[in-house]
Structure 1
């Protein structure tokens, strides 16, 4: 009896480059980037504005084709849009006329999921994200943090093995953002989903991840990969005071030039 091999990497970006052509000039957004992410790993991606962080997410999702190199997802080459991932954007992008539950179930309708199983999964995610009691609320009745929880539920409805997140908490106030960091880390531990997160927040990148990948300025390359040596279960206040957290955030700032005297 044959046994299906389990890929050693959930995401593999192999010597990828991206070049754009405009009316005036050719632009190299990504010089050459190679990156592997293990199943169940949480990786944060940081770098200067315009270095191609969001572009890398589009490559993994199949929304964009590299100019050179290759991208593999769960052991298979990415040759077009992938339907077996989850994607969370900076804005929740909820439909104003649909309730919390119906916004989440929009994913099921688009994918043709079995309705009863989809509703059961939606209820599970609503409970997991602390939205119980708001199932019939409309988006305008929710805070920004709650709207992002709905977007996260929608992205996780079909149990994707890989979740891509593009600055999902960038529009939130500082306190709500911290709360969402704690919630996301807990949900990641409970689901075991592979996560690739793009963020401009150094503290967020380190708090959430197993590993932080720092990109250089455009045309980007990997400047350094930093292992985050923190406990798997992370109390937010204790983590902020942990020397390992300080060491990791300091190194990221050094690489980004944020620690230089002005």
Structure 2
């Protein structure tokens, strides 16, 4: 389905330099974290000695081979898992259990088939017991922001995969979370829809100023969207290198892919991962 075009109104952002990041409380702080899972026959170390600070309003992408602990790291930030060693903080507060103030988008939209797009988004408000008037106002704003005008009363089977993911994104953003976690949200989409969703996510990030932590297997997606790309090693997952992308926040897709900063960052990440470890 063809989505209506919208004019982006970029938030005024002043991306932090490496030095500035240390001067503010990180939106996400991961300190010397390791995760070990105990199995029947052996223990498995998923993450080892991982440290990462994400500044407020920053977009950070995680890339690495399958099984390296990228999704495990998101679950730690969300409080769905506890680290075996080390600690995780959100806004300076230690994560000790499931966090209800963050937003989470998964690879599958996981919409309720018997609810319209609007009512799927409002499910978040019902669970959180948000004031009804505020929730309706917020839903209307998100529907406009994501280009879902005219589809708010459609049911999931009437929506394309990309539109279903827009609904899932609206649901995750309804309560205006300071941190948005995204685990391969566009992995199941076709190439053209994925490209469009990349452009939409860049615009939405600029408008909202939300801190984003994205897991992806796509190098080009990571470099196009992120301020920094965290490259992880095979299991046990450690941080191999953190790449500063060096692009302006507002990025036109075709032009950005031709920029030397984009090409250099993507090539360096491919070298770090190796041809057998990641795919585009």
TM-score normalised by length of structure 1: 0.96
1:216-257 deviations in whole A, cap 9, x for unaligned?
Answer: 111111100000111221000000111110000001101101
Change (3 A) 1:259 1:239: farther
> 1:135, CA displacement in angstroms?
0.9
Distance between the aligned counterparts of 2:84 and 2:206, measured in 1?
35
User: What is aligned with 1:155?
Assistant: 172
1:5-63 deviations in whole A, cap 9, x for unaligned?
Answer: x9520000000000011111011111110000000000000011000000000000000
Distance between the aligned counterparts of 2:73 and 2:273, measured in 1?
18
User: What is aligned with 2:124?
Assistant: 107
User: What is aligned with 1:44?
Assistant: 61
Match of 1:243 among 245, 255, 260: 260
> Is the partner of 1:116 in helix, strand or coil?
helix
2:127 is the alignment partner of 1:85: no
Structure 2, unmatched stretches of 5+, are 1-22
> Is the partner of 1:195 in helix, strand or coil?
strand
Distance between the aligned counterparts of 1:226 and 1:187, measured in 2?
23
Distance between the aligned counterparts of 1:121 and 1:231, measured in 2?
28
User: What is aligned with 1:230?
Assistant: 247
Moved over 6 A (4+): none
Alignment of 1:108-257 (within 5 A): 108-257=125-274
1:86-110 deviations in whole A, cap 9, x for unaligned?
Answer: 0000000000000010000000000
Match of 1:26 among 37, 43, 60: 43
- Corresponding residue pairs, total: 255
User: What is aligned with 2:81?
Assistant: 64
Structure 1, unmatched stretches of 5+, are 1-5
Give RMSD over aligned pairs.
Answer: 1.2
Distance between the aligned counterparts of 1:7 and 1:21, measured in 2?
37
> 1:259, CA displacement in angstroms?
8.2
1:103-147 deviations in whole A, cap 9, x for unaligned?
Answer: 000000000000110010000000000000011000000000000
Distance between the aligned counterparts of 2:71 and 2:94, measured in 1?
19
